[in-house]
């Protein structure tokens, strides 16, 4: 079975056929950096990281573009409240997002463009739209005229133009020909940053930014555009309209991840229910938080509770326990071992991570039975299958990312702990249990837990 994904634009599961054979291009709407990220923000990053890993494993050469919106009404408002320049807010929060993506094991994007670095491309796109009769300048602003695209506007969100409300993206609606027209460019206002254009100084509108960046790095027609379901309208609807009206094919597939909620409320900073990533990784380890976010189907909503988070952590620890015990018996794992067909089928069926993880847990159960029987051949096969599946999901506990909590110091820690464990082993051999216990306690104080097993002492970072 080849990869099939749910395409929001057709509201159907479609076989993935790339623009260029053997290559896949993905654009993900990234952060608008007015605040640090909570787990609702980072869920999107984890979901599309799994997609990227699976496409790479399936043989595609993937170009993954994830943008940063570093100028926006919200950023400007926060900067004014804090009495700092807008770029201070943007830079601070972009670093927080980068740290969060890295901490949860998301691979770095192929390219991560900032909106403010692509104003020339935006100007070119606006000029193309004006030349084609789809946009107009008015009072220093530039607007997209939705009536010029009326036969297709609303197709992604399945809405009719007559039922749509005003765009509400400007202080003076009188500048618009139609209240539903949306701003491509916002004219200069006191205290706001500006860039020069043929229509006057100002700053870009949100929707324009993504179209300009996506087509610059992925071409006029590319494979997949992703983001949260809350972006379908107006953001993605407007992206399609302005891009296709300018003559670009734009995205061939649209993928949207579900929201993360607390009770009936969408998680947001304004509701005061944000669960920021630094706080979350104090409750569980980063890899366990990644498991929690990756385990549900990407299109489903997640109703957050700490109980569910801890259950996910425990489920991951069961997988981790088998991998750790099996690795004490099997030292060389076949990184090219075939994946179980049921696992591949699950991910090829619209990235079905719940079914894929069910396969992982079934293989782990078989592996534990093989360990108890001392069947090394079966253990070797099942360990290889497990680690290869976990690698696709970004969850392999033996990867450098998780063994050293993402630190380049992991080999140093390995070496120092190995010396301490040899000293402890020597103390136990001479029956100096007080010294052995003291070494274990010193390691525990340093955040390292030691467990004695039939194969020798095992260590891990304390939970």
pLDDT tens string, the chain, 463 residues long: the values are 899 999 999 999 999 999 999 999 999 999 999 999 999 999 999 999 999 999 999 999 999 999 999 999 999 999 999 999 999 999 999 999 999 999 999 999 999 999 999 999 999 999 999 999 999 999 999 999 999 999 999 999 999 998 999 998 888 888 999 999 999 999 999 999 999 999 999 999 999 999 999 999 999 999 999 999 999 999 999 999 999 999 999 999 999 999 999 876 766 655 556 699 999 999 999 999 999 999 999 999 999 999 999 999 999 999 999 999 999 999 888 888 899 999 999 999 999 999 999 999 999 999 999 999 999 999 999 999 999 999 999 999 999 989 764 445 556 666 766 776 777 777 788 877 777 778 778 877 877 877 676 666 666 666 6
User: Please, are residues 156 and 9 in contact by the beta-carbon 8 Å criterion?
Assistant: yes
User: Please, are residues 266 and 365 in contact by the beta-carbon 8 Å criterion?
Assistant: no
Class of domain 4-257 (CATH, top level): alpha beta
The three-point CA angle 27-32-35 to 5° equals 145
Give how far the C-alpha of residue 307 lies from the chain's centroid of Cα atoms, to the nearest Å: 23
Residue identified by tokens 């039939």 is 454
Q: Sort 60 into a burial class: Cβ within 10 Å, 0-12 / 13-18 / 19+.
A: buried
Q: For residue 247, is it left (φ>0), alpha (ψ between -120 and 50) or beta? A: left
pTM given for the model: 0.89
For residue 325 the two structure tokens come to 């015990």
Residue identified by tokens 């379901």 is 229
User: Please, are residues 225 and 9 in contact by the beta-carbon 8 Å criterion?
Assistant: no
User: Please, are residues 226 and 27 in contact by the beta-carbon 8 Å criterion?
Assistant: yes
DSSP-derived secondary structure letter, 195? B
Enumerate the domain spans of the chain. Answer: 4-257, 300-403, 410-461
Q: Is the dihedral of CA 376, 380, 382, 383 positive or negative?
A: positive
Q: Is the dihedral of CA 229, 235, 241, 244 positive or negative?
A: negative
Residues 300-403, CATH architecture = Up-down Bundle (1.20)
């Amino acid at each position: 079975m080849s990869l099939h994904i749910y395409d929001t634009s057709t509201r159907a599961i479609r076989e993935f056929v790339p623009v260029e054979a053997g290559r896949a291009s993905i654009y993900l709407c990234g952060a608008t950096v007015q605040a640090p990220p909570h787990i609702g923000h980072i869920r999107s990053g984890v979901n599309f990281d799994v997609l990227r890993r699976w496409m790479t494993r399936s043989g595609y050469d993937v170009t993954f573009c994830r943008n940063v919106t570093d100028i926006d009404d919200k950023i400007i408002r926060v900067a004014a409240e804090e009495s700092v320049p807008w770029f201070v807010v943007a830079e601070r929060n972009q670093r927080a997002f980068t740290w969060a993506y890295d901490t949860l094991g998301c691979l770095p994007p192929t390219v991560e463009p900032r909106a403010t670095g692509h104003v020339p491309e935006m100007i070119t796109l606006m000029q193309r739209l004006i030349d084609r009769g789809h946009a107009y300048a008015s009072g220093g602003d530039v607007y997209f005229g939705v009536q010029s695209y009326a036969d297709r506007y609303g197709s992604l969100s399945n809405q009719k133009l007559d039922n749509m409300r005003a765009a509400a993206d400007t202080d003076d609606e009188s500048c618009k020909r139609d209240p539903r027209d949306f701003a491509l460019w916002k004219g200069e206002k006191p205290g706001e940053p500006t860039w020069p254009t043929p229509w006057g100084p100002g700053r870009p509108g949100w929707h324009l930014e993504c179209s300009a960046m996506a087509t610059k790095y992925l071409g006029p027609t590319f494979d997949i555009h992703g983001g949260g379901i809350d972006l379908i309208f107006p953001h993605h609807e407007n992206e399609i309209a302005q891009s296709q009206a300018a003559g670009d094919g734009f995205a061939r597939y649209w993928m949207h991840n579900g929201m993360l909620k607390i009770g009936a409320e969408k998680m947001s900073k304004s509701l005061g229910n944000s669960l920021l990533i630094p706080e979350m990784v104090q409750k569980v380890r980063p890899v366990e938080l990644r498991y929690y976010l990756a385990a549900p189907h990407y299109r489903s909503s997640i109703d957050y509770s700490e109980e569910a988070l801890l259950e996910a952590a425990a489920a991951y620890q069961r997988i981790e326990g088998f991998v750790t015990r099996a690795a004490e018996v099997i030292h060389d794992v076949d990184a090219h071992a075939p994946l179980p067909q049921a696992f591949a089928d699950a991910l090829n069926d619209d990235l079905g991570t719940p079914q894929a993880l069910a396969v992982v847990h079934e293989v782990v159960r078989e592996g534990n039975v093989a360990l108890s029987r001392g069947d090394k051949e079966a253990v070797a096969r099942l360990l290889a299958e497990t680690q290869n599946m976990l690698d696709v999901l970004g969850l392999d506990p033996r990867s450098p990312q998780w063994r050293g909590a993402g630190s380049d110091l992991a080999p140093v820690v390995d070496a120092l702990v190995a010396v301490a464990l040899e000293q402890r082993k020597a103390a136990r051999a001479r029956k100096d249990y007080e010294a052995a216990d003291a070494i274990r306690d010193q390691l525990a104080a340093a955040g390292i837990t030691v467990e004695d097993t039939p194969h020798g002492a095992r260590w891990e970072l304390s939970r």
